[in-house]
Amino acid sequence: MTYPLLRISGDYAFVEVRKGRGAVRWRDMETIYRGPAQKNDEWSGAEGEKLSAKHSLWPSDPNSTLSQPYTVSSWEGLGTGKPEMLVFPTTVFRFAAPLANLEDEADETAPPSLILHEDPRSGNCYKIKLTAALLGLPLEIRQYDILKGETRSPEFIDTVNANGRIPVLQIDDEHGTRFLPESNAASWYLASGSSLIPQDRYAQADMLRWMFFEQYNHEPNVATLRFWLRFVGEANLSAEQRGQIMAKRAAGCAALELMDEHLATRQFMCGDAVTLADIALFPYTHVAEEGGFGLGDYPNLQAWIARVEELPGFVPMQ
């Protein structure tokens, strides 16, 4: 059995920690701590309990608006005496809507409980984790090994995704339990109402065109070669797969070159601010060398990768 463990990753003038069981809302949870907190302070719960915490958005100001709740729950069957731990971040990405309004809404309707069904080696799964991290959203993780066919089991197909693929974002809220497949759709769901999605009509469409580009031009070539060469092994590929390597390498290089040229005159894919377009393209681009692509040939891409890695709340791919 497991127990929840909540740890803070920075110094804050105010933190509020609550605990509860089941699908309890923040407002109905028991308060177990209110006050200042220092880096690595932690709180643990018992088996079957859920811990949730909010912190002041300006670390030095105890009267500033509180963040949305960060939640960690204990799961059964993951091993005896092991903690399910959440380290909640020191910063929260800026929302497009006023944070005070979001806080008021949270008091009326509890935020959904979010569970990501994923394989940590997948860049598509990482998109969703990166989106949640930049927005300061709590995200529980359930891992599968796609190389062992764990997403093709009858249980997974019947209960999580009939298409037998990950990632899948599980959303538990007042509407019940719903499952949202497809990485870009799940990232959009998380980022809705935030500055990761531009409000301007054209800017939003421009963001979408890069997300479509990622799925049709980038991912089928850059990501596929990475998977074949790093995880499957060239010696284990079929004759048909080996016959596609050169074509996919040429198409992947063309996609990276287009991005590099585009980034010569802007900081991010859609201008001077990060959007979901960057989150969609970052995962497989920054590990493209694992598929045999030389990032040294694309200096603008390298500079963009560095800028993404410097974003507040950024988390690396496992």
Domain map (residue ranges) of the chain: 1-95, 112-194, 201-309
Domain 112-194 has CATH 2.60.40.1250: no
The whole-number pLDDT of residue 24 equals: 67
The whole-number pLDDT of residue 37 equals: 86
Give 229's pLDDT tier (boundaries 50, 70, 90): very high
In the predicted model, what is the mean pLDDT of residues 99-108? 37
Q: Is the pLDDT of residue 298 over 70?
A: yes
Give 184's pLDDT tier (boundaries 50, 70, 90): very high
In the predicted model, what is the mean pLDDT of residues 128-150? 93
Q: What percent of the chain has pLDDT over 90?
A: 60
First to last CA, the chain: 25
Q: Is the pLDDT of residue 244 over 90?
A: yes
The whole-number pLDDT of residue 89 equals: 45
Which 3-state string (H, E, C) describes the chain? CEEEEEEECCCEEEEEEEEEECCCCHHHCEEEEEEEECCCCEEECCCCEEEEEEEECCCCCCCCCECCCEEEECCCCCCCCEEEEEEECCCCCCECCCHHHHHHHHHHCCCCEEEEEECCCCHHHHHHHHHHHHHCCCCEEEECCHHHCHHHCHHHHHHCCCCCCCCEEEEEECCEEEEEECHHHHHHHHHCCECCCCCCHHHHHHHHHHHHHHHHHHHHHHHHHHHHHHHHCHHHCCHHHHHHHHHHHHHHHHHHHHHHHHHHHCCECCECCCCHHHHHHHHHHHCHHHHCCCHHHCHHHHHHHHHHHCCCCCCCCC
In the predicted model, what is the mean pLDDT of residues 90-99? 30
The whole-number pLDDT of residue 11 equals: 78
Q: Is the pLDDT of residue 92 over 50?
A: no
The whole-number pLDDT of residue 46 equals: 84
Q: 63 or 311: whose pLDDT is higher?
A: 311
Instruction: Give the class (CATH, top level) of 1-95.
Output: mainly beta
The whole-number pLDDT of residue 57 equals: 57
Give 13's pLDDT tier (boundaries 50, 70, 90): confident
The whole-number pLDDT of residue 78 equals: 31
Give 27's pLDDT tier (boundaries 50, 70, 90): confident
**pLDDT, the chain, mean:** 84
In the predicted model, what is the mean pLDDT of residues 244-258? 98
Q: Is the pLDDT of residue 94 over 60?
A: no
Give 186's pLDDT tier (boundaries 50, 70, 90): very high
The whole-number pLDDT of residue 112 equals: 85
Give 95's pLDDT tier (boundaries 50, 70, 90): very low
Q: 294 or 4: whose pLDDT is higher?
A: 294
The whole-number pLDDT of residue 105 equals: 39
Give 7's pLDDT tier (boundaries 50, 70, 90): confident
Q: 17 or 251: whose pLDDT is higher?
A: 251
At the topology level, CATH places domain 201-309 in Glutathione S-transferase Yfyf (Class Pi); Chain A, domain 2 (1.20.1050)
Q: Cβ distance 134 to 93 under 8 Å?
A: yes
The whole-number pLDDT of residue 307 equals: 95
Q: Is the pLDDT of residue 93 over 80?
A: no
The whole-number pLDDT of residue 86 equals: 56
